[in-house]
Amino acid sequence: MASDFDCWEVLDLPARSDERSIKRQYAKLLKVTRPDEDPGAFQQLREAYEQALHILREGWSEVDRDAADSTDRPTAENRTHPGLKPTRSLHEQAVGLLGGFEDRAVDQYWNEASTRGCNAEFERLLFQRCVNDPEAHWHLLTWGIEQRQWLTPWQRIPASEFEQHCLARALTAALYRKLDQQLATGEEQNFFDCLEHHSQQAWLGDFARRQALQVHVLNLFLNTEDWSPLLFQRVCRLFAWDVEAAVVPIAQDQWQALHRRCEQQTWLGELRSLMQQRQQHPSARANAATLFLLSTQPVQQAELATGFVEADWQACEQLAETFATRFPDLLGMFPNHDPWFWKTLIGHKDPPHGVKRAACVLTLTLALNNLPGSGLMVTLLMLPLYALGGVLAAQVGKWLLSHWTTLTQSLHDLDQLASEWCVRHKLTADRRYLVIRNGGPLLALAIVIWNWLGVLGLATYLVNGAIGLLQPASAVPADRQYRWRRPLQATYRIAGLSWLQWVFCVSMVIVIGYVQLRMPGTLLTQGRLR
């Protein structure tokens, strides 16, 4: 057999050693000749091992052995005929194919090796080339994994545990790097496609390798901030983690933490969707979601909150409760980790036309109070003077109200709680109408009416207010602009009374006027402070 080196000398064995001795010596030499330390020596050792087994199994003659060892003693018996070419072994033919081998043309070389019948020896050499330097022969390694089932039970060439571990380590390291980069850059579709493609490859059918891949993917989700719940759900289905009895290869508390993050991301995704669709589909929930997601932009928050109505504040209250109870991990996105930050944006809203309404009530009260001594006609003639007195009294009340407002600022938190309670029990319609702040002037006006018109006047005031609380919101006329050129329209807009309140008020004014004229001095129209 023609050979470039003596395989028995490389193996340090006597010629024609048995197969058991060859394998034992090869295993012994593998311990001191490692591919990562000296790839050339390792390649030579491997070729010597294969050549020795080939010689032993093919049963070459001693003449061939002598011809390989004694090339300096030509004789007539071992001299090759000038017209014939020496026959090369299958191993030598496989080695010859590697002379101009290119990884990307592996299919072409493989077809050539199959034609010559040395494909088994050629595949072994290709495998060894990948073992020596997997990074430099990545295309070749991919071909072997996909076409020749390397690192699987169906692999046709013998390979040591060390060699298989070497290739598996290179493959998993490259796969992990690719997955890490894709998830870090937000390429979720590429991440899943890559994971799905590799998880279907046979070399990852090994339990330990597949388990290691799953652990790495789970750690990626734990250590990466931004990923969509849809990606997590798809990966769960890919590895069958969505089954109730599935065994997930991480600690239970970490698995639960991933599920909480998935729910949180789903929740935030819903809020972002509401925010984006707010212009096309406005709603109280969309307004509240926008206010919460703008927590880092206080100026825009304040502008948005100025247009909020009670339905919007109730939606904010529901959102804050959800954040506080279901998603406490997300509280860091709010100022001071407080989901009730929006309460500082509620502000205060005074009742519309407060001074004008008070002036009208005081005018009417003055007229009815002086009705017994003046008579009906004199009262009607003096009505402008009574109106002037009502306006002056309302202005004095406005001045007193400014001091009352300063006093109630120290009770702002309590005032907000009371206003929320009243809204929750449908006693008021808007929490911006602070109960303590606005209730003080109303109570003062009630005392004045009671002092001037007695029980009937106070009952008229209170019952009329109760009707306003109990009646539906649709019954109240809208607060629109008015013109004094149309006094009836102006009175209707300023008063803000429904038809039932108007009927009740007119009826009670007639009753009080009748009592004042027919029964002057009765306790029904005499206040206790007189």
Question: DSSP 3-state assignment of 99?
Answer: coil
- Dihedral sign for Cα 376, 377, 379, 380, please: positive
**Interval 271-281: pLDDT, tens:** 999 999 988 88
Average pLDDT over residues 297-318: 88
**Interval 7-65: pLDDT, tens:** 888 888 887 778 878 878 887 887 777 666 776 777 788 788 888 877 776 654 443 44
Greater model confidence, 282 or 296: 282
Average pLDDT over residues 515-524: 83
d(CA 78, CA 451): 143
Averaged pLDDT of the chain: 82
Task: Confirm if 8 and 52 have CB atoms less than 8 A apart.
Answer: yes
Mind giving me the DSSP string for 431-476?
TTS-HHHHHHHHHHHHHHHHHHHHHHHHHHHHHHHHHHHHS-GGGS
Average pLDDT over residues 234-258: 87
Q: What is the 3-state composition of the chain as percent helix, strand, coil, each rounded to the nearest 5?
A: 70, 0, 30
CA torsion angle 360 361 363 369 (round to 10): 160
Q: Which residue has the tokens 């207010």?
A: 465
Task: Confirm if 49 and 11 have CB atoms less than 8 A apart.
Answer: yes
**Interval 284-295: pLDDT, tens:** 999 999 999 887
- Residue 215 is predicted with a pLDDT of 92
Task: Confirm if 494 and 353 have CB atoms less than 8 A apart.
Answer: yes
Helix axis angle, 435-470 relative to 354-369, nearest 10°? 70
Q: How many CB atoms lie within 10 A of CB 226?
A: 9
276, 399, 457, 505, 515 from 526: Cα distances, Å: 62, 28, 9, 19, 11
**Lowest-confidence range among 31-35, 71-75, 88-92, 507-511?**
71-75
232, 365, 369, 456, 527 from 374: Cα distances, Å: 86, 14, 10, 20, 19
